[in-house]
Amino acid sequence: MSTTENNAVDSNHHADDHHHGAPKGIKRWFLTTNHKDIGSMYLIFSLVMFFIGGAMAMVIRAELFQPGLQIVEPDFFNQMTTVHGLIMVFGAVMPAFVGLANWMVPMMIGAPDMALPRMNNWSFWILPFAFLILLSSLFMEGGGPNFGWTFYAPLSTTFSNDSTAFFVFSVHIMGISSIMGAINVIVTIVNLRAPGMTYMKMPLFVWTWLITAFLLIAVMPVLAGAVTMVLTDKYFATSFFDAAGGGDPVMFQHIFWFFGHPEVYIMILPAFGIVSQIVPTFSRKKLFGYSSMVYATASIALLSFVVWAHHMFTTGMPLAGELFFMYCTMLISVPTGVKVFNWVATMWRGALTFEVPMMFSIAFIVLFTIGGFSGLMLAITPVDFQYHDTYFVVAHFHYVLVTGAIFSIMAGAYYWLPKWTGHMFDIGLAKAHFWLSLISVNVLFFPMHFVGLAGMPRRIPDYATQFADFNAIISIGGFAFGLSQILFVVVVYKCIKGGDKVSDQVWEGAEGLEWEVASPAPYHTFSTPPEIK
């Protein structure tokens, strides 16, 4: 039996259970090789992690609500900032995008399933164990990892507690999962496209994921190398990062950020893909500049490998190095700007309707652009000496990752939920979720720019009284944003349980644009948009 037939059997949702006695109930979820089941498990897992990571952010903001030490010890505060970062990056954002890829990529390219269904199951099921290991360290003697999610040496190699081994092991498992997922995406897209589906006819979400998958395979081994060196420095008397033994602590930063910078693009490229699917649908127009979007995505991915040391301007680099990384970082804003202009041009003179996915997408475009501008500011070497390690940096990357990556995940979830469940979600509740999130997220992160410019350092549980008012506002925004996300769970739960049945054309007036994804020609090749009702 050929691979394709195998997959067809796999993706046929256990239709012939009575012949084979295939597993039912909970066992089905453990053993499933169906891309939709696995996609759903990734999405549910990332939602759970989103709330666990969010709870840690609540602890951080409760501590910073007033100056002085209120509710937690400084060491526990550092454990919270560390694990919050790790969980949000590796547990919430990345698995959510992998879940969306599992669900949508086979359907968008007309494939029966993912190319490697058993590996797909395996790459998901090792994730809960990775995070169980990481979270369990918080309850052990000495507490969890307390050296920041970037685990800089010599902090992580000398001054940390004994949770380092658990942290390293869990990161290895996350990396293995990511690499397997990426291999699966690449093999699926390269080998299982429907006849006539050329590369330049693939929907943009498929393109962004193909490029993201190559990034993952390139940088995950670098992270594995960095954590292994940290492990041997701490427990096996090596001195990779110890100057006394001939090592160099700055080398750690080079290795880490060579992984870390492409990693942040891994977390935003699929978001670009989602927004590039949604904006044309609700503009009733094909995407403006399809091929330039593909080339822009590839350019961003390539450039992401030559900007890593912009995280290290204050480490005493040679001037030539600082100039090189400054100019490369500014260069990366060009293809990013191309994408933003193309989305705006797609909406320009379109027949727009503001459905919930479109609202999240427009918020994404505006707020991600703010994050991009603050990133451009951080790229200016002499200016970065002032910004470095302040809340300005925190504001910058949260605009990119919360109003960027997470808003796009919300947009994608609302966009495809009717397709996944056959039901329309509660639009009133979903709009309430959007507006509450939009307002609170800006109350939460915008004032951080100001306290950062004024010199408030990040990762510190106490601060000067001059920052008290702004921090109170920031914390209120944080609690409001966290509580707003409960609405999202309610909307999703209600939608899965029932609701109005949807037609093939879920988003009325956008017929044939997005829901024809399984046919060989994706919607951007249609010559004329359908008539607007």
Q: Does residue 423 carry a catalytic annotation?
A: no
Compute the distance between CA of residue 274 and CA of residue 300 in angstroms, rounded to an integer.
16
Q: Does residue 458 carry a catalytic annotation?
A: yes
Q: Is 457 helix (H, G, I), strand (E, B) or coil?
A: strand
CA-based diameter of the chain, in Å?
73
Q: Please identify which of the residues 33, 163, 177, 374 carries the catalytic annotation.
A: 177
List alpha helices for 34-163, DSSP H: 35-63, 74-86, 94-109, 117-136
Q: Does residue 339 carry a catalytic annotation?
A: yes
Q: Does residue 149 carry a catalytic annotation?
A: yes
Q: Of the candidates 131, 129, 126, 134, which has an alpha carbon nearest to the alpha carbon of residue 163? A: 134
C-beta separation of 221 from 294 below 8 A: no
Q: Does residue 193 carry a catalytic annotation?
A: no
Q: Please identify which of the residues 61, 172, 284, 310 carries the catalytic annotation.
A: 310
Q: Please identify which of the residues 40, 336, 408, 475 carries the catalytic annotation.
A: 336
Q: Does residue 504 carry a catalytic annotation?
A: no
Q: Does residue 73 carry a catalytic annotation?
A: no
Q: Please identify which of the residues 29, 149, 152, 420 carries the catalytic annotation.
A: 149
Q: Does residue 178 carry a catalytic annotation?
A: yes
Site of tokens 């509450």: 436
Q: Does residue 276 carry a catalytic annotation?
A: yes
Q: Does residue 177 carry a catalytic annotation?
A: yes
Cα dist. 519→98, 108, 179, 285 in Å? 22, 8, 29, 19
Q: Does residue 388 carry a catalytic annotation?
A: no
Compute the distance between CA of residue 63 and CA of residue 309 in angstroms, rounded to an integer.
32
Q: Please identify which of the residues 209, 257, 265, 387 carries the catalytic annotation.
A: 265
Q: Of the candidates 454, 446, 470, which has an alpha carbon nearest to the alpha carbon of residue 367? A: 446
Compute the distance between CA of residue 423 and CA of residue 402 in angstroms, rounded to an integer.
27
Q: Please identify which of the residues 33, 123, 163, 276 carries the catalytic annotation.
A: 276
Could you tell me the two tokens for 270?
């699929």
Query: Between 94-109 and 407-421, two packed helices, what is the crossing angle to 10 degrees?
Result: 50
Q: Does residue 299 carry a catalytic annotation?
A: no
List alpha helices for 236-318, DSSP H: 249-266, 269-283, 290-303
Give the DSSP letter string of 319-385. Answer: HHHHHHHHHHHHHTHHHHHHHHHHHHHHHTTS-----HHHHHHHHHHHHHHHHHHHHHHHTSHHHHH
Compute the distance between CA of residue 162 and CA of residue 190 in angstroms, rounded to an integer.
44
Q: Does residue 310 carry a catalytic annotation?
A: yes
- Eight-class DSSP state of 459: S
Q: Please identify which of the residues 28, 201, 254, 458 carries the catalytic annotation.
A: 458
Q: Does residue 311 carry a catalytic annotation?
A: yes
Q: Please identify which of the residues 193, 234, 284, 311 carries the catalytic annotation.
A: 311
Q: Please identify which of the residues 37, 63, 263, 511 carries the catalytic annotation.
A: 263
Site of tokens 């759903």: 40
Residues labelled catalytic = 84, 113, 149, 177-178, 261, 263, 265, 276, 310-311, 336, 339, 458
